[in-house]
Chains A and B, each alone.
Chain A
Amino acid sequence: MIELPLILVGGLLGSAHCIGMCGPLAVSLSAGATAGTNHLARQLVFSLGRVFTYGFCGAVAGLGGAWISSDSRSFVLSQAWLAILAGAVLLLMGLVTAGVLPRPAVKRLGGLPCGTAGWLKTFLTAPGWSAVLVAGVFTGFIPCGLVYAFLLKAGSSGSMWQGLLTMVAFGLGTIPLMVAVGYGGQFLSIVGRSRLFRVAAWCIVLTGAISIARGYAQLDPPTDMATAPCPLCEAQPLE
């Protein structure tokens, strides 16, 4: 899968976007721990919990995609459409994040639902590994546009394992920044962050464009061509 590394990068850079919501959780993870605990390990366990949830959701999406594809008349066709849809959503998300498009109702997903914060905090501040892991697992379920966009992508893969891999790649990508934030606090300046934001945004746009291109290629299989066209060539970001 050519996208997996790209998805990893998308996650890595896209997680700058996540800091707004999940960052405070990671920070409170350190704040709540008693002296002498291994902060880095706590952060890693927390992130593993998140990745676990992403993987789980990816598997569900993959299976769901497979089920939809098998149900409809042409297996290839619906998979292609899913890929195009996922690509379109990613593209839009990326463009919105980059500031090219105005920010629509995405704002509504921007705040942690108030009810959740309370009991999530119970886990975050509790001693012991299991609580931290569980906190990570539940954090993975927090509504996030980026996660949903990648979930669509996972669904378009049309296989449970590939869906799982897609989301795990995305999740692993988010680990470095989240751990860094949780471990060292706010280390990036505002300018640095906004610059990172832009790079991340275009990275997501690229992933989306590739997804669309692949879906399009599947939709209209080029019978006379020996190899599929390079998706990168077709999908230059709209600068």
Chain B
Amino acid sequence: MNQDASERYCAFCGLPVPASFALGVDSPADEIEYCCSGCRTVASVTEAEREQGAAAGGLLRLGLAVFFTMNVMVFTMALWSQDVYTDPSFSTPLAVILRSVFRWAALVFALPVLYLLGRPIAAGVWQALRRRAITTDLLILLGVSAAYAYSVVSVLRGSGHVYFEVSSMVLVFVSLGRWLEAKGKRRTGESLDALARLLPETVRRQTPQGEFLETPRGEVRTGDVVRVLPGERFAVDGRISAGRATVDQQIVTGESQTVAKSVGDLVFSGTLNVDGDLRIEVTAADGSETVSRILNMVRAARGAKGRHERLADRIAVWFIPAVCTIAIVAGWRQGQLAGWDQGILTALAVVLIACPCALGLATPLAVWTALGRAARSGVLFRSGLVLERLAYLRHACFDKTGTLTTGVPAASELLTAGHEDRQRVLQVAADVAGGSTHHLSQAIVRYAEQTLNERIDSEPASVETLPGRGLASELPGLGRVVLGSRWFMKETGLEWPDTIPDKVGEARQQVGIGWDGIVRGVFQFHEQLRPETTVALAACRQLGLELRMLTGDESSRASAIVEQLDISADSNQLPEEKAATLQSLAQEGGVAMVGDGLNDAPALATADVGVALGCGADISRDAAGVCLLGDDLRRFPWSVGLARQTIRVVKQNLFWAFAYNGAGIALAATGRLNPIWAALAMAASSILVVVNSLRLGQFPEPTPLSDEASSGTMTDAVSWPRPAADGPPPRLASTSP
């Protein structure tokens, strides 16, 4: 996996600073960096809001510049109007004086625009120059200054054209475009911000004296004891040291059902304490707890560049020298043909229209938005590259147990020796099993309930749990009843009737029940498909993926599932064999391996894209490129769909950027494009790319399963709260007693 992460991040939007053309080695700069002048401006406003009150900074600057530009435009239009229509009054001496006044007025009103909007751009240019990098901003600034200087000379000489409106309008459009672009970029991180805002700002930490004092989250250390009240979210990871509670872990595991937790259980940051007054001992403090780990993973994923992005980067590096050359050559030629002013305007138009903003934004914005969108639905990509690979997938391989099936077997059949009363055996088995929480016992109770069609509220007098073997209980009238494995039956001295066969067919497990020296009945356990498996596989097929099941089980056991799902299967696969199968499939195109990540780590690592199900809090599992927080299989085709949509958007963006730049440069270099239109087009182009990319944030959720199917162990999609516009971060309601 390529991890050439960019080390520099924008101080405003948090996105990596794009590559730029540099003359020499970067100086190790500790200064605050921004990826564009838009971010710089917006950051200066937010900065100002914090320090000196609203609008003291850039926004007001932009507003005033617009005001002055409008003035410049009015005076320029007054000059233009003589070219447009004739009026007898135009030739009067007064009109001649007025014309001169208008030229001076335009000069004066354009000055503040140059100062207000030119300065932040100049600051960025200066910072880049100190790093010996040449940016398009430098070229724009040079062009605008040249146009202004030429106009000043014209006014002083009293003849020649003036282009104050050009320099003002160009600056306004460039700044406005950058501004909106910066705002848009920041929105790519909205989903992540919403998650980060879930963590309470303060926690109640126990002091050495035993009191609980409200403390900022960042000051809590591992080993501290923290009190969490009902209705609060955990700010850190910890182990419960006192109290019991129901916990909503949907944020982390995707499980919509709440979980009961008591002393000794782990709780994760971001999850919700529904009803308990808890003391927890911190195991992972701020910055390393679960939510932070998720956020860090997505942020790290942004740094790793995909194929498209590296292409854009490579082009961007050569763009500036190329544009410089074209601008100078075209400007010089137009200067020869139509005078210096036209030369300057042509060069400026070339620089503006060729600004590689759209090109540089095309890929990263789309990928970053998609990463954030996926994270909001509980799908974590390890890098943008994985997203790209997922889009070009041809094969999808699935592990069986725990992936296509729930991993928890269900009792499907009760075998009895011919003469036994089935009803009675079932009843007794349910009574005994009801006293245990083991998943096999629970499965027996469920089976009994379904078969007998009644709720079983047994009161097991005393059920003895023999770990690893089974259960035993004294029942009135029957004596000692045991429930457990075949081996346990033998150990207890029960006779296994010949009429009951050993493991039949694809049954995964058998549990016997017996009393009075004889095994009375045997429960057969089968693997259970996940409720969403059929839908998920159908969705995969619809995406044109070729499906295959890789399992370590014998083919006899897999056959029922193979039949049910109509999927080709490789059985008896050792982990190394799985890897080999994947490698041979990889010859034909991208292969994904979907597994639960526990026992198929080698396969996940071998595949082009490893998809781990049910990562939950344990996202650090390295083998998988994609982590599904929950264990909803439908998230896999959903992710593929999202990846494809992302690549589509990337291609649209790149196509647009290339087409626009190519056509624009041709127009501008031949002197057919006014710089004002070029600046407007540049802003519009960047905004188009931003808006197109942000559409990915609205990628729809998969349709929920019908009620019938979703009963059982079905998990809902992880739903993180939609980002609130500017809601306050959750705080603790009251101080501690």
Contact = CB atoms under 8 A, between A and B. Distances in A.
Interface stretch (A9-17, A18-26, A128-136, A229-237): A128-136
B258 interface: no
Nearest to A140: B70
Contact of B54 (A55, A59, A122, A134): A122
Question: Lowest 4 A-B CB distances belong to which pairs?
Answer: A134-B63, A126-B55, A122-B55, A160-B81
Contacts of B133: none
B66 A137 contact: yes
Contact of B67 (A63, A137, A159, A161): A137
Contact of A126 (B60, B67, B78, B87): B60
Given A122-B54, A122-B59, A123-B60, A134 B66 contact: yes
Contacts of A70: 84-85
Interface of B: 53-56, 59-60, 63-64, 66-67, 70, 73-74, 77-78, 80-81, 84-85, 87
A202 interface: no
B84 A131 contact: no
A149 to B, nearest CB: 21
29 contacts: A52-B70, A53-B70, A55-B74, A56-B73, A59-B74, A60-B73, A60-B77, A63-B81, A63-B84, A66-B81, A67-B84, A69-B85, A70-B84, A119-B59, A122-B54, A123-B63, A126-B53, A126-B54, A127-B53, A130-B63, A133-B67, A134-B66, A135-B63, A137-B63, A137-B67, A138-B63, A138-B66, A160-B81, A164-B74
A131 B53 CA distance: 12
Contacts of B78: 160-161
B687 to A, nearest CB: 12
A115 B67 CA distance: 20
Nearest to A160: B81
A125 interface: yes
A137 B70 contact: yes
A63 B80 contact: yes
Nearest to B87: A159
Given A55-B74, A75-B85, 11 more contacts: A52-B67, A52-B70, A56-B73, A59-B74, A63-B77, A63-B80, A126-B53, A131-B60, A133-B67, A138-B63, A161-B78
A207 B52 CA distance: 48
B731 to A, nearest CB: 24
Nearest to B66: A137
A183 to B, nearest CB: 22
Interface in A134-177: 134-135, 137-138, 158-161, 164
Contact of B55 (A63, A123, A161): A123
Contacts of B77: 59-60, 63, 160
Contacts of A53: 70
A55 B70 CA distance: 10
Q: Do most interface residues of chain B lie in helix, strand or loop, or is the interface mixed? A: helix
Interface of A: 49, 52-53, 55-56, 59-60, 63, 66-67, 69-70, 75, 119, 122-123, 125-127, 130-131, 133-135, 137-138, 158-161, 164
B677 to A, nearest CB: 16
Contacts of A125: 54-55
A80 B70 CA distance: 29
B70 A56 contact: yes
Counting chain B CB atoms within 10 Å of each CB, the highest count among A134, A137, A158 belongs to: A134
Contacts of B54: 122, 125-126
A69 B87 CA distance: 13
B64 A134 contact: yes
A63 B85 CA distance: 9
Contacts of A60: 73, 77
Contacts of A161: 78
A131 B55 contact: yes
Contacts of A67: 84-85
Contacts of A66: 81, 84-85
A63 B76 CA distance: 11
Contact of B60 (A49, A63, A134, A160): A134
A131 B63 contact: yes
Nearest to A57: B70
A158 B81 CA distance: 11
Nearest to A71: B84
A134 B60 CA distance: 8
Contacts of A135: 63
A6 B589 CA distance: 75
A201 B63 CA distance: 33
A131 B63 CA distance: 8
B725 to A, nearest CB: 9
Contacts of A158: 85
A70 B80 CA distance: 13
Nearest to A164: B74
Contacts of B63: 123, 130-131, 134-135, 137-138
A55 B221 CA distance: 63
B61 to A, nearest CB: 10
Contacts of A122: 54-55, 59
Contacts of A164: 74
A194 to B, nearest CB: 34
A55 B77 CA distance: 13
Given A53-B70, A59-B74, A125-B54, A130 B60 contact: yes
Nearest to A53: B70
A56 B461 CA distance: 91
A159 B60 contact: no
Contacts of A75: 85
Contacts of B56: 126
A126 B63 CA distance: 13
A59 to B, nearest CB: 5
| B56, B63, B67 interface centre (most CB from chain A within 10 Å) | B63
Nearest to B73: A56
A138 B60 CA distance: 11
B374 to A, nearest CB: 26
A128 to B, nearest CB: 8
Contacts of A63: 77, 80-81, 84
Contacts of A119: 59
A49 B70 CA distance: 11
A52 B63 CA distance: 14
A133 B70 CA distance: 13
Given A66-B85, A160-B81, A56 B55 contact: no
